[in-house]
Amino acid sequence: MRGPSVRVPLACFAAALLLVLFLPRSDLAAPRRAPADSASAIARGNNAFAFDLYSGLRTPPGNLFLSPFSIETAMSMVYAGARGATAQQMSAALHLPGDAHEAQAGFADLLGALQSSAKTHGYQLDTANGLWAQKDYPLLPAYRQAMGSAYSAEIESVDFVHEAQAIAARINSWVAQRTQDKIKDLFAPSAFSPNTRLVLANAIYFKGSWARVFKPQMTQEDTFIAPGGAKIQVHMMQQQGSFKYFDAGSYQLLELPYRGDTLAMDVFLPRKPDGLPAFEQDLTADKVAGSLTKLGPAMIRVELPRFTMSSSFELNHELAALGMRLAFSRGADFSGMSERGRELSISTVVHKAYVDVNEQGTEAAAATGIGIVSTAVMRYTSFRVDHPCFFLIRDLSSGAILFMGRLDHPSPG
């Protein structure tokens, strides 16, 4: 008997990718092998944070794709150095254990488990963490050790005071190398200043084949109904067979496993062509977890658009709105990073993500960067022009003087 036909609109599919592609599945469906308790706790917190963040990002129309795991990992590296009320706010917003050491142990276990699973089951999943610190800024040895032991972070001393733009280019190169050139220019050349004291970054890259690939000869041009009812042409991949499926009435849920059956893409498809906003309105980690437990085998004809998309975000506002406002203010306490950590605050959190879905499988990458600056009051030397002076205007590249003169008695401009 022929099973239900599932046609997957692009917008729904992008949302589904967000939900599961980079999320450890320990709390979303019964795992084949229970990971360490600490890793499971981090996975649950990551998933809760993912939906909180998605709720803040979904309002603008258009495609949306990000890696909550990359953002959570990078922010947890900052959390490791937070203390007092700053740490409490970050713990609550990120859904991390209140004990920073417990969070570090959980990330170490989870990152290790993800790497081990990828090697065992034949897909590529690479994660990397980096830390660039102002060369004369005294990071605490305990913080450096935590970054190395829990996150395997590459730590480098740099000179933001004199080489800010060059360091931005160097970090961007680091990100590009670790994402197979899928994420470029994470930071703008002007992202850092002489006040920058620390930059942390996470990069993640995934490439996996479908457990059952779509045959390219089956792909056909078809119609996709975009928001507002506009009809556009897409390349629709097709296949049929036994897949895990759940009919929730107002939406359908389909699971597409990757080779090795340890990662999968779960697609939530509203019944109505314009039903995604209403579905997103009630989207929570618990709702998704409940739906995934109801997946069961069914004969399905799958029709899925082939696509590539990328997204970029500046996340200061969204993260502060989740409750960690102190971390972005002069009242931040990062004394777990440095004895002068009460002078630090987060200046920028940037994120970029890329995904390519085709007949063979999925390639996806993301990176998160966090800039931390000194908020200490700067002392200035007085330079008061209240008497005649000489001045010139020159080309800094060649040194050529273009204009010169003397100010003897200024007239009103």
Report whether pLDDT(264) > 90. Answer: no
Q: How many domains does the chain have?
A: 2
Using the 8-state DSSP alphabet, how is residue 3 labeled? Answer: -
User: Is residue 278 situated within a structural domain?
Assistant: yes
Using the 8-state DSSP alphabet, how is residue 73 labeled? Answer: H
Using a 10 angstrom Cβ sphere, with 0-12 exposed, 13-18 middle and 19 or more buried, the burial of residue 194 is middle
Closest among 100, 197, 169, 171 to 368, alpha carbons compared: 171
Using a 10 angstrom Cβ sphere, with 0-12 exposed, 13-18 middle and 19 or more buried, the burial of residue 403 is exposed
Same domain, 312 and 285: no
User: Is residue 159 situated within a structural domain?
Assistant: yes
Closest among 14, 354, 61 to 230, alpha carbons compared: 61
- Final residue of a structural domain among 305, 332, 356: 305
Same domain, 229 and 262: yes
- Final residue of a structural domain among 305, 327, 356: 305
User: Is residue 253 situated within a structural domain?
Assistant: yes
Same domain, 50 and 95: yes
Same domain, 248 and 205: no
Same domain, 292 and 271: yes
Domain CATH for 111: 3.30.497.10
Question: HSE-up of 353 (CA within 13 Å, CB side)?
Answer: 21
Domain span including residue 32 = 11-209+308-374
Could you give the CA distance from residue 245 to residue 251 in angstroms, rounded to a whole number? 11
Same domain, 101 and 239: no
Same domain, 191 and 285: no
Question: Which residue would you say has higher pLDDT here, 66 or 350?
Answer: 350
What pTM did the predictor assign? 0.88
- Final residue of a structural domain among 374, 392, 408: 374
pLDDT, one tens digit per residue, over 270-306 is 888 888 888 888 888 898 889 989 999 999 999 888 8
Residues above pLDDT 90, as percent of the chain: 57
Same domain, 79 and 203: yes
Domain CATH for 255: 2.30.39.10
Same domain, 18 and 91: yes
User: Is residue 71 situated within a structural domain?
Assistant: yes
The number of residues in the chain equals: 413
Question: Which residue would you say has higher pLDDT here, 92 or 62?
Answer: 92
pLDDT, one tens digit per residue, over 234-246 is 899 999 999 999 9
Same domain, 197 and 325: yes
Using the 8-state DSSP alphabet, how is residue 215 labeled? Answer: P
Using a 10 angstrom Cβ sphere, with 0-12 exposed, 13-18 middle and 19 or more buried, the burial of residue 236 is buried
Same domain, 172 and 228: no
Over the Cα atoms of the chain, what is R_g? 25
C-alpha dist (Å) from residue 196 to 182, 324, 391: 26, 20, 32
